[in-house]
Chains A and B, each alone.
Chain A
Amino acid sequence: MRAMKAGTNLEKVLRSGAFAVTAEIGPPKGAVAAVVKRKADLLKGSCDAYNVTDNQTAIVRMSSLAGCVMLKEAGLDPVMQIVVRDRNRIAIQSDILGAVALGIGNFLCLSGDHQRFGNHPQAKGVFDIESIQLIQTFKNLRDEGRFISGDEISGEMPLFIGAAANPFADPVDFRVARLAKKVRAGADFIQTQAVYDVERFATWMKGVRQLGLHKEVYILAGLIPPKSIGMARYMRDYVPGIHVPDEIIERLENADDVKEEGQKITLELIEALEEIEGLSGIHIMAVGWEEAVPHIVAKAGLLPRPVV
């Protein structure tokens, strides 16, 4: 068994060997704490940990750190997402110190969607360090007790380090190799891009197993429950790196109740994913549709969540 890194609920569930469930909580485009608290109450008990996005798609929202603290207060285990788009190494390391002081233990290292996609396309992109270097930064903070500069940190840094992976981007032959780099850099767990094409995902997982990476890192398959036909089409046509087969779109088009069909598709995906060797769990990104998460997890037979 791998040594305990931060002792968060997510880490304990993964170490127990249970099939883990995480979900994404998008903070509001405003300062109303009640919005986060309402989502926390809605999702509490349905997952093992909850990611708070960091200005996702480069749209300004309440900070990930603030959202994580509110989840923590509500009794949920947060995963703080950090992108390298908006902050340099000084700000990022400072935020990590603050997050640890506030009791946050799970982190997800991301590049971040380019600012061109968001509501401030005129912004200056930072990209001082990049996502794999951010993983290394976390590992150094935790295992060496040192900042990027080499200076020593006072006190313990219990960190459970997450990273993203996209099995569906190009060049396809590099996708497993890139995961291997993230593992070597220090990732403890991986949350993947949304899976709609289980066959392609299974092929990627086969490559992962061939390198034995599934024994070094916990892999959670990403899921985006399709909420509407328009959203599914948008993902297919405009979101780089998400592969939505036409068959999914057709099923939604022919459905009497699109939302129900979207949940049904998600449940079928979960069932198929559970069969894949080496997969440690799922990560549900119900963008703007968080209320669907408890239903999906319940119907998938994944409740109650383990108490560890």
Chain B
Amino acid sequence: MITGKQKALSEVARMATPYKRVLVLGCGTCTTICFAGGQKEAAEMASSLRLLGQNEKRRQVFSEHTVRRQCEWEYLDEIAPLLKETDAIVSLSCGVGAQALAERFPEISILPGLDTCFMGLPQEPGVWIERCLACGDCIIDTTAGICPITRCAKGLLNGPCGGSVDGQCEISADIPCAWQLIHDRLASQGLLSRLDELPPVRDWSTSHSGGPRRIVRQDLKVKKAP
């Protein structure tokens, strides 16, 4: 999933200050399941902004709504009627959803209510960890199903660096050394000799380094009428 973290209320309130009628819009998919921007969080944020606005004697109106996904056009249509009474939307989706709103409703100001963090998974209640950088060229068949590009702080490809101690990454005791994990899993699979290989220099053009990316599937494109 895509994970996100709500911005501080004071920061959201600051962004919303110039607008009279503000819609706090939740997203029913990724940010719902990471408890950052679902229906409940949208209601809480609207309520908090309302209280803060009253305390500071601002004449603002906050409402809330949640769509199934902010990142797909078909789910955005349902909010069109609400926008007649809206000057700005605080989006509680990831950056994809927030930008979709800006594109679909160019007359409305879109304010990010959360920071998109990473693609990852919940490790335990209250803890999410990063797992994929979307580099566009997956190699985890060679690394025992563990991505070193994402999980090694230096993105190394040739095994643990000199800072790997007691299974921990040198940058933090909270981060396991990805290459120790790879080493141990390969060892348990009897595949340790894989670490002797010298992987070639990476082609980063499949990542964001190649510019904003797009996928084109000819088989799915709608054919234009002749």
Contact = CB atoms under 8 A, between A and B. Distances in A.
A19 interface: no
B197 to A, nearest CB: 9
A129 B201 contact: yes
Given A181-B158, A181-B159, A171 B180 contact: yes
Contact of A241 (B156, B165, B171, B198): B165
A156 to B, nearest CB: 23
A9 interface: no
B211 interface: no
Given A170-B167, A181-B196, A240-B165, A130 B157 contact: yes
B166 A170 contact: yes
B201 A170 contact: no
Given A114-B171, A132-B198, A125 B154 contact: yes
Contact of B171 (A84, A111, A116, A127): A116
A130 B183 contact: no
Contacts of A84: 154
A240 B163 contact: yes
Interface residues of B, number: 30
Nearest to B163: A240
Interface string B174-193: 00010010011000000000
Contacts of B156: 111, 127, 130-131
Contacts of B202: 128-129
A289 interface: no
Contact of A133 (B165, B168, B201, B204): B201
B160 A169 contact: yes
Nearest to B159: A178
B135 interface: no
B23 to A, nearest CB: 34
B153 interface: yes
Given A114-B153, A114-B170, A127-B154, A174 B159 contact: yes
A19 to B, nearest CB: 24
Interface string A24-45: 0000000000000000000000
A148 B202 CA distance: 11
Contacts of B163: 113-114, 169, 240-241
B158 A170 contact: no
A177 B157 CA distance: 14
Contacts of B159: 174, 177-178, 181
A166 interface: yes
A193 interface: yes
A146 interface: no
A59 interface: no
Nearest to A134: B201
A271 to B, nearest CB: 25
Contacts of B18: none
Interface of A: 84-85, 89, 111-114, 116-117, 125, 127-133, 136-137, 148, 164-166, 168-171, 174, 177-178, 180-181, 184-185, 193, 240-241
| For the complex of A and B, 3 pairs with smallest distance between CB atoms | A166-B162, A240-B170, A240-B163
7 contacts: A131-B158, A133-B200, A166-B161, A170-B167, A181-B159, A240-B170, A241-B162
Given A170-B164, A177-B159, A185-B198, 20 more contacts: A111-B156, A114-B154, A114-B170, A114-B171, A125-B154, A127-B154, A128-B204, A130-B158, A131-B156, A164-B162, A169-B162, A169-B164, A170-B160, A170-B165, A170-B180, A171-B160, A171-B180, A184-B198, A240-B163, A241-B165
